[in-house]
Amino acid sequence: MNEAEQVLLGNIADTDHEIFALLKQRYSPRTFRDEPIDSGELKQLFEAIRWSASSYNRQPWRFIYAEKGTEAFDKIVDCLSDFNKKWASMAPVLMLSAYKEKTDEGEENFHALHDLGLSLGNMTVQAQYLGIALHHMAGVDWKKAQKTFNVPKGYHITTAIALGYYGGTLEKLPEDLQDAETAERTRMPQEEFAFENGWGQ
């Protein structure tokens, strides 16, 4: 077993209750195997999104993606926060997520962000099944991304995502990020967010 495999095994969630294995195994690495993502597997990720649940089947999600070595990839990197640039620039694929702000009838789509989240959840599970890691990033200058990629009015860039196969080497990361990569994973207990019969109960 190599170091990367040991890191992955060490990041399996220590759940309080048994859950689906792919959910336990999922985590957000900052290092990936130095290998392009298979184009067919990328199509599978977007097919998982295509069949996500959405309010009134509006499917308000949109994505821009680029492979490492392309001009578009470098443009996405340029829109990331300085912290994320340190590691995300090594990912095989970078992606921007966006949502359509209004319905076709011109009304505010209050559930668009909810639907985008559902679609990314689908993609994350499909990616885990394929051995592909996703690291979702809030650290993106969305206004800059909107302008850089000529995103039309009515659509809103939301997050950036780094994609790559599990199995990267820790040595490629700065020391502080190496520590973060191997740190114990923690979550708040269910009692702090799931309330039966009323808020806080």
Residue 10: predicted pLDDT: 52
For 16-28, the pLDDT digits (tens) are: 899 899 999 999 9
Helix (H, G, I), strand (E, B) or coil at 80: strand
- The domains located in the chain, with CATH, are 3-192 (3.40.109.10)
Question: What is the pLDDT averaged over residues 169-180?
Answer: 86
CA gap 151, 196 in Å, rounded: 42
CA gap 134, 140 in Å, rounded: 16
Residue 9: predicted pLDDT: 47
Question: What is the pLDDT averaged over residues 25-52?
Answer: 96
Secondary structure letter of residue 159 according to DSSP: E
Alpha-carbon Rg of the chain, whole angstroms? 18
Q: How confident is the model at residue 58 (pLDDT cuts 50, 70, 90)?
A: very high
Average pLDDT, the chain: 93
